[in-house]
Amino acid sequence: MKNILRTIAATLILFTASNKTFAQCMAVDSGTSGGVLCLYADTMDNWMYVGGGFSTSGSDTLYNCGGWNDTLFAGMGMSGNWGTNDSVWCFTLFKGNIYAGGSFTTAGGVAANHIAMWDGVAWHAVGNGFNSAVHTLAVYNDSLYAGGDFTASGSTSIAHIAKWNGTKWHQVSTGVNDDVDAMYAWKNALYISGDFTQAGSLTVNHICKWNDTAFSALGSGLTVSMMMMQCMAHSMVVYNGNLYVGGMFDHAGGTAMNNIAKWNGSNWSSIGNVGTGMGSDIVSALCAYNGSLYVGGNFSACASTSSNNLGVWNGSGWSTIGSGMNGSIHSMAVYNNKLYFGGTFSSAAGTSVRNLASYSTLTGIEPVNTTINGLLVYPNPSKGTITFSGLQANGTLFIYDALGRTINKQTIGSNKAQIDLSGQTPGAYLYRIVGANGQPLQTGKFMLQ
């Protein structure tokens, strides 16, 4: 009885504090034995895919890629043929399957030149693949695009960016003149960034957009003013209705700004320098999470804020998370309400980790006014199966544990749902009902005995 009362009290505290932040980085299982280069959250099957240059996570055999389900890692492949034979640089979801790109030439023992498709059970080649590494994948206008440092697919010449037609790869217009490192679909265009300076015959300076017919420049693009310094754009994300670009540069649109820039669709502007323009710092990863823009890479400051490889921009000022990371951040992704960091580091905000960490600003779910009249949640407390009666169809029901982690998600198809939670630890749990339009309808709590 005392334990139940303590749990109920903790739940009440949880709801009272639901607008506060929980600023602690956590280890993700045993991490990885080598650097993490990419993270991808598959919202369809609720897995996060982790890629890079590693062989294991603890006792789990992975070989450069694996799936994480918020509890454990799973290898991609069959016993003896796990993963890929070299680094994985990127993932994307296309028509129900996961596509991976990288430096590898085999996946699950299958010949696959730098790109492969994972159907959840086995790996498959994707046409002839490419003659060199794939750095980025994106879906635009219901088509799969690949970018990297390749120049051919089989006997077909392809200059660094390609489109898959379901049978083979073909060049996008006349391609670009150097590596493609990132792609992002936004506002009816595919934004492309990297080491290149030309797209077809057009001067674009490291970033351009493709509208399925032609390339166009984003002003004068990204440049450097120092001799012998290499300019590059490695990451893109949309935050608060603007496109943010990170990399290694000291000017955007002719205006001085170091390594990060904002594009509003017409003009470039600065949110403050990240690192210096001396060629020693780089922004490698950008991610929007819970109202803020998270910036990762290899740098020691964001504007006047000291920051070890990690900065947080809230739209008006910079901050960081604890002591940041003691090594480079290469990728970030949001999965099950948490922000994940991947890279080459052993400490995340003071927590001992291995190249992979998670972070949450949530301690629960924010309460909303009840709008579902007659909703019943029973039995409460429950010994395993919890019933929701009086639901509105065409919404989604989420169940969270006391740390705010999603443990169950169901589409509502009728006025009643029964959920088996018999495998969960006894204690307090939270539910959230969201309408078909994404509007929260009701939150509440229940107990498992």
Q: What is the pLDDT of residues 231-256, one digit of tens each?
A: 999 999 999 999 999 999 999 999 99
Task: Based on DSSP, count helices (H) and strands (E) in the chain, helices before strands.
Answer: 1, 52
Cα distances (Å, whole numbers) of residue 369 to 11, 105, 258, 432, 440: 18, 54, 45, 11, 9
Distance from CA of residue 293 to its chain's centroid?
13
Contacts of 385 (CB under 8 A, 6+ apart): 418, 419, 420, 421, 422
Task: Give the model's pLDDT for residue 71.
Answer: 87
Residue type, 291: G
Distance CA 125, CA 94 (A): 14
Cα distances (Å, whole numbers) of residue 117 to 38, 84, 121, 281: 16, 12, 10, 34
The DSSP-derived string for 107-125 is ETTEE-SSEEEE-SS-EEE
pTM of the model: 0.78
Task: Give the model's pLDDT for residue 22.
Answer: 37
* Tally of residues, the chain: 449
For 2-7+365-448, CATH gives 2.60.40.3080
Quote the tokens at residue 311: 């900065």
Distance CA 327, CA 348 (A): 9
Task: Give the model's pLDDT for residue 8.
Answer: 33
Q: Strand locations in 35-172, DSSP E?
A: 36-42, 47-52, 56-57, 60-61, 65-68, 73-75, 77-78, 81-82, 88-94, 97-102, 106-107, 110-111, 115-118, 123-125, 134-140, 143-148, 152-153, 156-157, 161-164, 169-171
Closest CA to 36 of 7, 12, 66: 66
Q: Going edge to edge, which strands form the sheet with 292-298?
A: 282-289, 292-298, 310-313, 318-319
Residue numbers of the chain with a pLDDT score lower than 70: 1-23, 228, 362-371, 393, 403-404, 437-439
Task: Give the model's pLDDT for residue 222.
Answer: 97
Closest CA to 88 of 61, 136, 116, 53: 53
> 344 forms bridges with which residues in the sheet?
328
All structural domains of the chain with their residue ranges: 2-7+365-448, 21-359
| Location of structure tokens 């204690």 | 427
Class of domain 21-359: mainly beta
Task: Give the model's pLDDT for residue 5.
Answer: 33
Q: CB under 8 Å, gap of 24 or more: what pairs does 5-11 form?
A: 7/427, 7/428, 7/447, 8/428, 8/447, 10/402, 10/428, 11/402, 11/428, 11/430, 11/445
Quote the tokens at residue 400: 């969270």
Report helix, strand or coil for 39: strand
Torsion of CA 7, 419, 39, 42, to 10 degrees: -160
The DSSP element (H or E) to which 12 belongs, if any, is helix 2-16
Task: Give the model's pLDDT for residue 403.
Answer: 65
Task: Give the model's pLDDT for residue 16.
Answer: 35
Task: Give the model's pLDDT for residue 372.
Answer: 72
Q: What is the pLDDT of residues 38-85, one digit of tens each?
A: 999 998 888 999 999 999 999 899 999 999 998 899 999 988 899 999
What are the phi and psi torsion angles at 81 (to 5°)? -135, 50
The DSSP element (H or E) to which 397 belongs, if any, is strand 396-400
Quote the tokens at residue 63: 């070989």
Quote the tokens at residue 277: 């323009």
Residue 131 DSSP one-character state: S
Report helix, strand or coil for 289: strand
Distance CA 171, CA 116 (A): 18
Distance CA 178, CA 170 (A): 17
